[in-house]
Structure formats: C-alpha cells, structure tokens
Amino acid sequence: MADNTMFDLTGRAAVVTGAAGGIGSAVAAALAAAGAVVLVTDVDESAAAKAADQISQSGGKADSMVLDVSDHDSADAAMSRAAALGDGAVHIVVNNAGVTAPAMFADTTNDSMRRMLDIHLMGAFNCAQAALPYMPTDGAGRIINVTSSAGITGTLGQVNYSAAKAGIIGLTKSLARELARKSILVNAIAPLAATPMTETIRTDERFAPTMLNRIPLRRWAEPSEIAGAFVFLASDAASFITGQVLPVDGGMVM
Ligand SMILES: NC(=O)c1ccc[n+]([C@@H]2O[C@H](COP(=O)([O-])OP(=O)(O)OC[C@H]3O[C@@H](n4cnc5c(N)ncnc54)[C@H](O)[C@@H]3O)[C@@H](O)[C@H]2O)c1
C-alpha cells in the first residue's frame, strides 16, 4: 500500500519561477498543499504576490518575489530569499517561466531567437546555478525543469521555442549526471494545459481541431492536473528517478 508520507514536503523550501499564473501558480499551490514553503516568483510582481496570498489564505506557507529568470543576479537574490524561508536550504527548484514568439523560420529574428534562449535555457541555467549552493545533499534536493513536446518532436513555426526547450532537455540530462554525486535529482516535465500561453491554439479554428486530434485523451488539462507530477518528482516517492523527461500531456507524446 502507498505510504502518503512519501509525498509529504513538510520542511522543504521550494522556488517556482513564472508562478504568477498558468502551470506555475498551480504547481506552487500543489507544493504548498504538500507541506512545502514556497517562494512564488515571476516578472509580474503583483500577480506573484496575489498567487502567494491565495496559497496563504488556503493555509499554505508562501512568499513572493519578482524574478526575471534571464538575469543571473535576479536568480541569486531569489535563491537567497528562498533559503531564508527554508532554514538555509532550497530543496526544490521548479524552472517553469516561459514565453512563446511563434514565427516561421524565415521570419524568425535574431532578437526573438535570443529571447527564447535567454528566458527558457539561460533561465533554467541561471536558477539551477544560483540554487546549487543552498541545495541539500541528503537526497531531498530536486531541480524540475519545464520543457515541451516542442523540444522533443519539434513544432512548425516555433524553431526558437523548440530549440530552447530541446536545450533544456540536454541541460536536464547532463545536470542529472553531474549532480547525482550530490544526490540532487534533476528531471523535466513536458506539460500540456489550458493556460494563457495556449489560448490561441485552443481557440483559433485554424489550429484547435488539429491540435485536439493529436491528444489521445481529446481534451486540454487544467493546470491543476499537471501539478501532481511536479509534487511527485519533488517528493521522496521519486527518490530513484533522475535525468528523465516526463510528458504530462494526455498521451500526445509517446
Ligand atoms: N501550457 C502548455 O500547454 C505548455 C506546453 C508545453 C510547455 N509549457 C511550458 O510550461 C511553462 C508554463 O507555461 P504556461 O502555459 O503556464 O504559460 P503562462 O504564460 O500562463 O505562464 C508563464 C509565466 O512565466 C512568466 N514569465 C515570462 N517571462 C519570464 C521571465 N523572464 N522571468 C520570470 N517569469 C517569466 C509570465 O509572467 C507568466 O506568469 C512554460 O515554460 C511553457 O513553455 C506549457
């Protein structure tokens, strides 16, 4: 029989990036519900504060802070703050912040290519590196990156985003090998959910039916349905899993 304490995150400090809304705020709420103290971070300071307030009102422990993941100094400051919440340790880092800038390859500018790499790939790099000095080496340390089916299979009109998300998979696997000696586990999740990021593809009749046909479960998930996989990977239940990419996407990638 499953032992529920396997999923208990009491005493662990977590940082979630891009947690003002969408998948990030659902993950922050789920980690807090499992007992973690959560630093809710985002470029949108007031929305991050609101998300943290909602967690507190539901009985969880949370604080918020502005964090632009593309800025290493900003990541350093957030990890220092999270460590203060976690009695000196940052146990869980969720690298979730992201944006898209769809364009066909011929129209993809240098700036949009660099922006995708800066926010997604450099963002995960900055936050993981900033957190490392604070991460415990007793097996509780977790880095959970957010990639995408776009990084696994590629997507038409998203060379910039797909390249950045594929880079995150390489970062995840190499970091998992390197940090295994510190018993820090590094995994990635490739989600699919109804969020502001996917609004056009869910509602525009040029894309919506085709996209739905690609999902065997024939529906979009709410962000809260994605969050459980993050709690699992953050918990003792996942103590022997590292370097993996877990699609949570209704069977789209298999
Ligand atoms: N929704 C999906 O179906 C889906 C599919 C595949 C991958 N993803 C990935 O999941 C993650 C969350 O996406 P979402 O759908 O919740 O999107 P969302 O747009 O709802 O949320 C993204 C959040 O990231 C924040 N953000 C943007 N730039 C930032 C920066 N530089 N620093 C810090 N925060 C920043 C935004 O303010 C926003 O709150 C992203 O990495 C996205 O690429 C989502």
- pLDDT tens for each residue of 12-25: 999 999 999 999 99
Three-class DSSP category at 169:
helix
Considering only CA atoms, which of 51, 43, 63 is closest in space to residue 21?
A: 51
Instruction: Round to whole Å and give the CA distance between 42 and 44.
Output: 5
Q: Which residues contact 208 (CB under 8 A, 6 or more apart)?
A: 201, 202
The closest-lying atom of ligand 1 relative to the alpha carbon of residue 100 is 43
In tens, the pLDDT along 50-97 reads 999 999 999 999 999 999 999 999 999 999 999 999 999 999 999 999
197 in a domain, yes or no?
yes
CB of 191 within 8 A of CB of 249?
A: yes
- The arithmetic mean of pLDDT across residues 101-113, rounded, is 98
237 in a domain, yes or no?
yes
Q: Is the CB of 16 under 6 A from ligand 1?
A: no
Q: Is the CB of 112 under 6 A from ligand 1?
A: no
CB of 182 within 8 A of CB of 141?
A: yes
Determine which residue's CA is closest to atom 1 belonging to ligand 1: 193
Q: Is the CB of 82 under 6 A from ligand 1?
A: no
253 in a domain, yes or no?
no
161 is catalytic: yes
The strands making up 185-191's β-sheet, listed across from edge to edge, are: 61-66, 37-42, 13-16, 92-95, 142-146, 185-191, 245-248
Q: What is the CATH number of the domain that holds 139?
A: 3.40.50.720
What CA–CA distances, in Å, run from 4 to 62, 90, 229?
Answer: 22, 23, 15
135 in a domain, yes or no?
yes
Three-class DSSP category at 251:
coil
Q: Is the CB of 225 under 6 A from ligand 1?
A: no
Left if phi > 0, otherwise alpha if psi is -120 to 50, otherwise beta: which for 250?
Answer: left
Which one of the listed residues 125, 134, 161, 230 is annotated catalytic?
Answer: 161
Considering only CA atoms, which of 191, 240, 231, 241 is closest in space to residue 91?
A: 231
Ligand 1 geometric centre to CA of 99 (Å)? 5
Ligand 1 geometric centre to CA of 119 (Å)? 10
What CA–CA distances, in Å, run from 234 to 48, 57, 143, 164, 201?
Answer: 21, 23, 8, 23, 30
The closest-lying atom of ligand 1 relative to the alpha carbon of residue 97 is 24
Instruction: Round to whole Å and give the CA distance between 213 and 234.
Output: 32
pTM score of the predicted model: 0.98
39 in a domain, yes or no?
yes
- Pocket probe for ligand 1: among 16, 23, 114, 214, the residue whose CB has the most ligand atoms within 8 Å is 23
- Pocket probe for ligand 1: among 17, 195, 198, 230, the residue whose CB has the most ligand atoms within 8 Å is 195
Residue 3 — pLDDT band, cuts 50, 70, 90?
low
- The arithmetic mean of pLDDT across residues 1-30, rounded, is 92
Q: Is the CB of 21 under 6 A from ligand 1?
A: yes
DSSP run (H or E) holding 16: strand 13-16
| Number of structural domains found in the chain | 1
Residue 4 — pLDDT band, cuts 50, 70, 90?
confident
90 in a domain, yes or no?
yes
- The arithmetic mean of pLDDT across residues 6-33, rounded, is 98
Torsion 27-32-33-36 (CA) sign? positive
Domain, as residue range, for 128: 4-247
CB of 48 within 8 A of CB of 25?
A: no
In tens, the pLDDT along 130-178 reads 999 999 999 999 999 999 999 999 999 999 999 999 999 999 999 999 9
Instruction: Round to whole Å and give the CA distance between 162 and 122.
Output: 14
Considering only CA atoms, which of 183, 180, 193, 186 is closest in space to residue 227?
A: 193
For 35, the token pair is 């007992």
Considering only CA atoms, which of 67, 68, 41 is closest in space to residue 52?
A: 41
Instruction: Round to whole Å and give the CA distance between 201 and 118.
Output: 24
